[in-house]
Chain A
């Protein structure tokens, strides 16, 4: 198939050994007793762990069973259960709007020209939990160059597949469907922004947004739109779904910012999944050196 592995980094190198062990143990521990021993062990080690920044990647198990993906249910475990039989082929991505080369791309054709890159990023959810995730994908900038956007294109708008028959969550009026997200052109072209097709060196699991999702590591997780079927180049700032749903709580920029609280949750600290103690949230999720200059002079309290 067309998912090529990069020659320079083997995925085995970014798969920590403890995780491989965990998976093996997990299979062995079908019995309650064994699972109990494991669980207690994990809990005890979590208690003993000191309070510190630790960017060890989360396990495949954690990343694939704790998902916010309302198209497949609102509970964290729902997507892993409800997206099991979701068909991601054939998959078409419509590219339209202010570009020289608008087209309907087959997923395979869309990713074919590029070498997939491995990127280990922190992911900070607006709900004050976080993970470290080894993604695999294509820098969005490389993809955008191929579409040749016009100078009038100021924003990129992304749209999730609208298919209530295949995505049970879309049958519920929880959010205005389909899910829409957007980036300013300079954010979209930033080298950290990743069109993601894989996780731990394997094709993206359905519950994590297969076949194609966005990852913008300095923004809250909800900017990472999943199952993308349309990329539009537009002049006006797109109205993203969570902003439409509740403009007081979710904005367009959604940059991780410990100084601007969400009305209901603190954003000053976060719980890294798998760790017992909270840790401090970093400005721009720790990517300030690379991205802060894009927002120079902006009031980040207003543009939250």
Chain B
């Protein structure tokens, strides 16, 4: 799984080193690493639904790694923008962040993912207990802001951003329904009580 998650990066690096990224390779690097951040988020968020639906519990152990890979691709993406696209021109970058909402949303996404990556260790899971679960629900917010960042970056071809947005809505919807079902099972069945009355 570790090797699998690195394949996209190797492919991008191979295309870069063999001059296959077209006439504007810097833009391609940004687009590709950004897209793989969103894809990795989608794959990480798919783990639990797939596990529940198909009973593939062995997938559980890969969830953290996939989430961390999403953060990893986000870091590569951000460093492309900082170090390659803008070549550490901090003033210009600040101007970009405050003036252009899609940059701002992208930055926000990275800032949401950062604490999630930090608290992904066993120690932090133990220390935070129930609060860890609440905190890590923020990953759905990050998925949505990442896709809005993508949506606002494109000009008119909004098909794929909308597809990703729908995917994340579906994944979140499943988790909400699943949680409802579980909590109604845990509580005494109210409908039964009213029927008895």
Please name all residues of chain A whose beta carbon is closer than 8 Å to the beta carbon of B152 when the two chains form the complex. Answer: 264
User: Are B24 and A38 within 8 A (Cβ)?
Assistant: no
Are B157 and A266 in contact, with the CB atoms below 8 A? no
Q: Does B179 contact A (CB under 8 A)?
A: no
Q: Are B99 and A36 within 8 A (Cβ)? A: no
- Kindly report which residue of chain A lies nearest to residue B96, judged by CB atoms: A266
Q: B residues 127-155 with Cβ under 8 Å of A?
A: 152-153, 155
CA distance A274 to B18 in the complex (A): 15
B27 CB within 8 Å of chain A: yes
Choose one: B16, B20, B157; the contact of A43 (CB below 8 Å): B16
Across the interface, do B27 and A245 meet the contact criterion of CB distance under 8 Å? no
What 1/0 mask marks residues of chain A from 242 to 279 whose CB sits below 8 Å from any chain B CB? 00011000000000000001011110110101101110
Name the one of B16, B27, B86, B102 contacting A39, with C-beta atoms under 8 angstroms.
B16
**Contact call A266/B26, Cβ cutoff below 8 A:** no
A66 in contact with B99 (CB, 8 Å): no
**A65 adjacent to chain B (CB < 8 Å):** yes
Which B residues lie within 8 Å of A32 (CB)?
18
Give the contacting residue for B24; candidates A42, A129, A245; CB below 8 A.
Answer: A129
Distance A58 CA – B19 CA, assembled complex (angstroms): 16
A175-B156, A264-B102 known; A39-B92 Cβ under 8 A: no
In the complex, whether B177 has a CB less than 8 A from a CB of chain A is: no
Contacts of A264 in B (CB 8 A): 100-102, 152-153
Chain A residues closer than 8 Å to B25, beta-carbon distance? 43
In the assembly, what is the distance between CA of A245 and CA of B157, in Å?
Answer: 12
Report the separation of the CA atoms of residues A264 and B99 in the bound assembly, to the nearest whole angstrom. Answer: 8
In the bound complex, residues from chain A placing their C-beta under 8 Å from that of B20 are 35, 39
- Find chain A residues with CB under 8 A from B100 CB: 261, 263-266
User: Which residues does chain B contribute within 8 Å of A61, judged by CB atoms?
Assistant: 23
CB–CB A76/B23 < 8 A: yes
Contact B16–A62 (Cβ < 8 Å)? no
* Partner pick for B23 among A43, A66, A74, A246, CB 8 A cutoff: A66
B87 to chain A: which residues have CB within 8 Å? 276-278
Minimum CB–CB distance from B106 to chain A (whole Å) comes to: 12
16 interchain pairs, CB-CB under 8 A: A36-B19, A38-B19, A43-B17, A43-B25, A62-B23, A66-B23, A66-B24, A76-B23, A76-B24, A77-B22, A127-B155, A264-B101, A264-B102, A266-B96, A266-B99, A271-B26
A residues apposed to B, CB below 8 Å: 32, 35-36, 38-40, 42-43, 58, 61-62, 65-66, 70, 74, 76-77, 127, 129, 174-175, 245-246, 261, 263-266, 268-269, 271, 273-274, 276-278
Residues of B within 8 A of A (CB): 16-20, 22-27, 84-87, 89, 92, 95-96, 99-102, 152-153, 155-157
Query: Which 9 residue pairs are nearest across A and B when measured between Cβ atoms?
Result: A39-B19, A66-B23, A74-B157, A62-B23, A36-B18, A174-B156, A39-B18, A35-B18, A273-B23
